[in-house]
C-alpha cells in the first residue's frame, strides 16, 4: 500500500511543478482544489520541492524582471511584470479594479486588456525604443472586475528590426485575449 501512496505523491508533485510553471500565481488553495487534496498537503509538497509560497515566488520574479527592462520604465508597464527574458518571453499580472469596467455591464474595458499585452510585448524588445507596427487581436471572453489576468508574451520570430510577438492572456485556466503583434525597433 505504501508504494502506491508514494507514487501518487510523486506524480502529484511533478504535476504541481508543471502547474506552477504554467501559472506561477496559483495559490495553495487553488492547487488543493485542482488536486483534490488539503491545503496542508500542497504546502508540504511545496516545502519538499523547495518551492516558496506564491507571494515570495512572485516578489522574487518581479524584482528580477524589472531589472531587465530596456524599452520602458517600470511605471509604463500595465500590470505587474513578473518575468522578462529580453528577446524571448515575458509574463505579467493585471488585477482588474472597479475603475476599469463599464458601469452598466461591469465588463472590463478592452483597452486595459490590450494595454497589458502591448506593454508586455514592448518590454520584450531588446532595444531602447520600440513601437507597435501591426496588431491582430482577439477578445475571446468577457473579463469582470476582480479577475486576475495573466499575460504571457513570446517572441516567435525576428527579422531585421521587426519582432513578431504572440501574447496570450488568461483568467484562471480560460484564455480571454490573444494578440499577434509586430513591433519595430527604432534603434
- CATH 1.10.10.10 segments of the chain: 2-51
Cα–Cα distance, 164 to 11 (Å, whole number): 37
Structure confidence by residue, pLDDT tens digits, 87-104? 999 999 999 999 999 999
Q: If DSSP codes are grouped into helix, strand and coil, which group holds residue 161?
A: coil
Instruction: Specify the domain boundaries for CATH 3.10.129.10 within the chain.
Output: 61-185
Contact 99, 158 (CB under 8 A): no
- Whole-model pTM? 0.71
Q: Which CATH architecture has domain 2-51?
A: Orthogonal Bundle (1.10)
Q: Domain 61-185, what architecture?
A: Roll (3.10)
Residues 158-177 pLDDT 10s: 999 999 999 999 998 899 99
Amino acid at each position: 500500500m505504501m508504494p502506491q501512496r508514494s507514487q501518487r505523491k510523486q506524480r502529484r508533485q511533478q504535476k504541481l511543478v508543471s502547474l506552477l510553471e504554467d501559472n506561477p500565481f496559483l495559490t495553495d488553495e487553488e492547487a488543493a482544489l485542482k488536486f483534490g487534496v488539503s491545503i496542508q498537503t500542497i504546502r508540504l509538497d511545496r516545502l519538499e520541492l523547495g518551492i516558496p509560497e506564491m507571494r515570495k515566488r512572485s516578489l522574487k520574479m518581479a524584482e528580477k524582471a524589472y531589472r531587465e527592462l530596456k524599452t520602458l520604465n517600470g511605471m509604463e508597464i500595465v500590470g505587474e511584470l513578473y518575468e522578462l527574458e529580453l528577446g524571448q518571453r515575458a509574463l505579467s499580472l493585471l488585477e482588474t479594479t472597479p475603475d476599469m469596467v463599464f458601469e452598466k455591464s461591469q465588463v472590463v474595458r478592452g483597452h486595459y486588456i490590450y494595454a497589458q499585452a502591448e506593454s508586455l510585448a514592448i518590454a520584450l524588445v531588446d532595444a531602447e525604443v520600440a513601437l507597435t507596427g501591426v496588431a491582430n487581436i482577439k477578445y475571446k471572453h468577457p473579463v469582470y472586475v476582480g479577475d486576475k489576468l495573466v499575460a504571457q508574451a513570446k517572441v516567435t520570430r525576428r527579422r531585421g528590426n521587426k519582432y513578431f510577438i504572440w501574447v496570450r492572456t488568461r483568467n484562471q485556466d480560460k484564455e480571454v485575449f490573444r494578440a499577434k503583434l509586430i513591433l519595430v525597433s527604432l534603434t
